Structure 1
């Protein structure tokens, strides 16, 4: 059998027919639309996760700063309160020091007042009225001066016994008085601006 002579035109037709035929597809190297969409979704989720983490970090930082601000405000309020309390205590101490600075001086003057009172009580009837009046005026002036500085006299004769201001020297049965009543005042007491300087020495009644 004799081969047909080689014709260039035939070869060109064969090549054109071959190229027109469907070519096989490489499945391994070809990405489908679903694959591409999956990759895009993964990227979006990664970006969202990164954004969420940054938001969490920022939210935590904001919470931390708010806590620090609240603590700073609390410390400021406490410091202001402590300063105010310290100033109030200093004012109270100064006021007390001013009120009771004379306490020692008053205690030194009380025996003088006691002496004038006892001298006036012990004067006999033959003492001149001028002498008696002089001692009485001196005693009154002394008490008036003490009163100007907040000194008050405690003379509880006939009053119920009060251990805060009275010192019981003895108890005597007395059917004419209620028990625990001051029968006699042996020595008067004194207060300075409401604070006891010396209690009154008294005789207290008891049930007969």
Structure 2
């Protein structure tokens, strides 16, 4: 009888007796345990890929918007610089208009009184000086100062009671605008003793 039991056991092996058979036997309605992780991994991978592609698209759109905004800022700044160059003298010209008006009025006036003409010229000179000051144009009148070749132009050296290389007299005033020389002052300089 023993033989019969062995024989029946060998004919109907149980999953415990044959591990390979256990892997291939499936019950109906139950998903295969070995294929489930691959399906889940594929779905997760596709979801992650779609999410990454959406993020890339979003970043590309943000980059293009930022690039366009940067280009607009650059273009506006360039236009502002062009306008500043074009209209930089506008303020200065507005300050000079009263001087022009005074000169035109002087030409139309037919006064023979020299005192009135002189008074009109002095008034016009004050207007011109004020307009230049508003435009930051400053007069250089360096009498008694040490000679500065960057701001003064020496015409001659003369013997004087002053220290050597100091300005004795100014033949023509110089002008600077914001510490930049427009015209150097023409001067005579004290000669060394």
Q: TM-score range by the shorter chain?
A: 0.5 to 0.7
- Tell me the CA shift for residue 201 of structure 1: 3.2
Aligned equivalent of 1:187? 172
Q: Distance between the aligned counterparts of 2:154 and 2:58, measured in 1?
A: 66
Q: Does 1:176 align with 2:162?
A: yes
Which one of 50, 63, 88 corresponds to residue 61 of structure 1?
50
Q: CA RMSD in A?
A: 4.4
Question: What is the TM-score normalised by the length of structure 2?
Answer: 0.54
Q: C-alpha separation between the residues in 1 aligned to 2:184 and 2:44? A: 80
The alpha-carbon deviation at position 186 of structure 1 amounts to 3.2
Identify which of 106, 109, 121 aligns with 1:138: 121
Higher Rg? 1
Tell me: CA distance 1:207–1:153, structure 2 relative to 1, closer, same or farther (3 Å). same
Kindly indicate whether the alpha-carbon contact (under 8 Å) linking 1:182 and 1:202 is maintained by their aligned counterparts in 2.
no
Contact 2:174 2:186 in 1 (8 A): no
Q: CA deviation at 1:48?
A: 0.9
- Compared with structure 1, are the counterparts of its residues 169 and 187 closer, same or farther at alpha carbon in structure 2 (3 Å cutoff)? same
Structure-to-structure mapping, 1:1-208, within 5 angstroms: 32-33=14-15, 34-35=19-20, 37-39=22-24, 43-100=32-89, 131=114, 134-135=117-118, 137-142=120-125, 144-145=127-128, 147-148=130-131, 150-151=134-135, 152-158=137-143, 159=145, 161=148, 163=150, 166=151, 168-170=153-155, 172=157, 176-177=162-163, 179=165, 182-190=167-175, 194=178, 198-203=182-187, 205=189, 208=192
Number of corresponding residues: 159
Q: For the residues of structure 1 that align with 2:58 and 2:42, how far apart are their CA atoms?
A: 24
Q: 1:42 to 1:200 in 2, by over 3 A?
A: same
TM-score by length of 1: 0.51
Q: Tell me how far 1:198 sits from its aligned partner.
A: 3.4
- The offset of 1:132, in angstroms, is 6.5
> What CA distance in whole angstroms lies between the structure 2 residues aligned with 1:162 and 1:92?
34
